[in-house]
Amino acid sequence: MANINVHVETGQDNIAPSMQPLAPPKSVDSQSVLRRLQSELMALMMSGDSGISAFPEEDNILCWKGTITGSKDTVFEGTEYKLSLIFPNEYPFKAPKVKFDTTCFHPNVDMHGNICLDILQDKWSSAYDVRTILLSIQSLLGEPNISSPLNQQAAQLWNNQEEYRKMVEKLYKFPAA
């Protein structure tokens, strides 16, 4: 056993010096982001979740386009929203930036599509992924946080679901394919 240990250590000595020029820390970093995002994409496509989807843009795997459909039995039923997800190089240790590309009349979404969602800010955890983000946003649509609204008008109208539904339909533009 001692013999084996010695050899393992010499193996390390041989490998370590020549490893460094091959793998500078920065490329390892972006490689791990790449690896993680590829794995997420695979899992997302395999999972077959209804109502959510996402795919990287052609040239940049750090920029994804996602879609969410409004859940059944909510005022958003039958609508479909496009989002953009931009992943930092530190992903998954830092949260991605997620925005609505489609106008969304929602108490926690502002005019520019910015989303107020705790898990995308201070409650982010590296265990979240694209799938859980999209599912969270999907459930946020039907269960807004009225107490800290970005869209005051939507927050006030939320209690009147019939009026709210009309407003959603009026403002909703079916996203161009």
Partner 1 sequence: MVSDSVAAVPIPSAANTKNPGKKKRTNRSAKLKQYKIDARREQWLNKGAVKNKGCKDGMDDDVHVPPSSGKHAKQELEKLETRRRGEEDDVLIHQESDSESPSNSPVSANSSVLCGNDSGTNFTGSSSSGGSTSSSSSSGGCCSGNITEEEEDEDEEVEEEDDGCLDDWEAVADALAADEKHQNSSHNEPAVETDSSQSREVTGGSGLGHPNSKPGSGGMVPRGSANARAWRADDAFRPQTLPNLSKQHSMPNPDRFFGGGGPWCRTSVPSNCPICCEDLDLTDTSFLPCNCGFRLCLFCHKRILEQDARCPGCRKQYECEPIETEASVHGGSLTLRLARSVSMIERNQYTFVSINVKAGQ
Give residues in contact with partner 1 (CB under 8 A): 3-4, 7-8, 10-12, 14-16, 18-19, 22-23, 28, 31-32, 35-36, 39-40, 42-44, 46-47, 49, 92-93, 123, 125-127, 129, 131
Determine which one of 33, 116, 137, 157 is catalytic: 116
Question: C-alpha distances in angstroms, 87 versus 12, 74, 127?
Answer: 35, 30, 14
Measured CA to CA, the distance from residue 97 to residue 94 in angstroms comes to: 9
Residue 124 vs 158, nearer CB to partner 1: 124
Establish whether 116 is a catalytic residue: yes
Distance CA 177, CA 162 (A): 28
C-beta closer to partner 1: residue 19 or 171 = 19
Q: What is the DSSP string of 128-149?
A: --HHHHHHHHHHHHHS--TTS-
Q: State which residue, 6 or 111, has the beta carbon closest to partner 1.
A: 6
**Active site residues per annotation:** 116
